[in-house]
Amino acid sequence: MSRTCDIVIVGGGLAGASLAVALAPLGFDIKVIEAVTFRSAEQPSYDDRTLAISHSSCRILSGLGLWDKLEADATAIRKIFVNELDRPGRVVLDPQEMGLTEFGHVVEARRFGATVTKAMTRAENIEVICPASVTGFATSATGSELSLDTGSGAETVESKLVVAADGANSFLREHMNIPTQTRDYGQTAVICNVTPTIAHGGRAFECLTRTGPFAVLPHTGMRCGLVWSVASGDAEGLLALDDATFLDQANARFTTELGPFVKAGKRSAYPLRLVRAMEDIRDRLVILGNAAHAIHPVGAQGFNLALRDVAILAEILADGDRDDPGSAGLLQQYSRWRRPDQRSTVAQSDGLTRLFAHPSMLAAGLRTAGIAAHILLPGLRRQMANKAMGYRGRVPRLALGEPLSFA
């Protein structure tokens, strides 16, 4: 069986589904290939993680028609506190310094996944082929051909453009022999929801440690999302603890203005590593989201970086040749626009992680000096906040609240 369309998106997770929803109003015939059935326990779009969605990302989602469906279950981040474990000084980021009321919002990945999947499957010009896995990819001067295994037989899909949004272990990236920069940090993030003694009031906390951040994100009601990064060898031990012992250990190691944690939800764990594609385009192919840059969660930039990929690719295709969305000129425009933001965000995430993990006195001095500088200099705090909110370099129209349409 053979199918044809304008654009194929490989991967129907958070990034791939968001791109499909962004492109649907432009009238493209779109196919989305997803290997894992939606709502399956193995589907990462429906896991227990919380997403810290930046100010610019909220605007992008509003332009996609998704934010009004998410906002009621989202929690505003009204202040951010950053410090290093057992060392003096703390940076306080206040959105009022930027003339804003919040830096962004926290949303459950499960809630976001359900919302974006519903929007994707309801669009008349999007066909979701699931479950299906890609087994081959070939290009020509005029288009591309994907080979699929649907479990009931082999199929092919011909298109003008293929987008690889198939995650950190991207088949398409590996199939095309695209080189990657990889780093195993030897850290694992243990995540769960916790309830503190005192209401969070929209406050977020990030305590930087040798084994990664201990982050507390405001959530609905009294709940907070907890991300506790530990040495990978210690993760199983934390998961095996009963709730009372887990809370005792968390409260003994970290303190915030929220008082002791009194309740913990289901715990999960995720290994932390860097995977960065050294090329983000090939003939008829764009690589985005975690397939292009799976980064450490310090600073909570991973999903926001993916949404900026989505917004910029959608804008370029909206302003480009309707008949050939995979032309070399359009893909080169995308790569030139995205490269500075991707490189700087990856470098910042990787650099911070390694700096705070380094045991030397020099590294400790640099960390203390950096925190002191951000405490004393409002300009540095504003720069840090601007980066966290996604306003760096050239900003896509969706992030400015402007809709997309064909030029």
Domain count along the chain? 1
- Return the percentage of the chain with pLDDT > 90, whole number: 67
Q: Is residue 54 part of a domain?
A: yes
Question: Model confidence at 369, in pLDDT bands (50, 70, 90)?
Answer: low
Q: Is 153 left (phi over 0), alpha (psi -120 to 50) or beta?
A: left
Q: Is residue 34 part of a domain?
A: yes
Six token digits for residue 23? 């492109």
Question: CA 285 to CA 309: how far, in whole Å?
Answer: 14
Q: Is residue 254 part of a domain?
A: no
- Cβ neighbourhood burial of 293 (10 Å; 0-12, 13-18, 19+): buried
More confident position, 6 or 390: 6
Query: How many Cα atoms within 13 Å fall on the side-chain side of residue 332?
Result: 3
- Element housing 262 (H / E): strand 261-264
Q: Is residue 245 part of a domain?
A: no
More confident position, 228 or 403: 228
In the β-sheet with 126-129, what is the strand arrangement from edge to edge?
Answer: 126-129, 30-33, 7-10, 161-164, 285-287, 281-282
Segment 362-367 shows an average pLDDT of 66
Q: Is residue 107 part of a domain?
A: yes
Q: What is the pLDDT of residues 230-286, one digit of tens each?
A: 999 999 999 999 999 999 999 988 888 899 999 999 999 999 999 999 999 999 999
Return the CATH number at 76. Answer: 3.50.50.60
Side chain identity at residue 385, one-letter code: A
Q: Is residue 260 part of a domain?
A: no
Question: Which neighbouring-strand residues pair with 320?
Answer: none
Largest CA distance in the chain: 65
Q: Is residue 229 part of a domain?
A: no
Q: Is residue 216 part of a domain?
A: no
- Does the pLDDT of residue 172 top 90, yes or no? yes
What is the residue range of 389's domain? 2-181+273-399
pTM of the model: 0.93
Give the pLDDT confidence score for residue 44 in this predicted structure: 55
Q: What is the pLDDT of residues 27-64, one digit of tens each?
A: 999 999 999 887 655 555 556 788 999 999 999 999 99
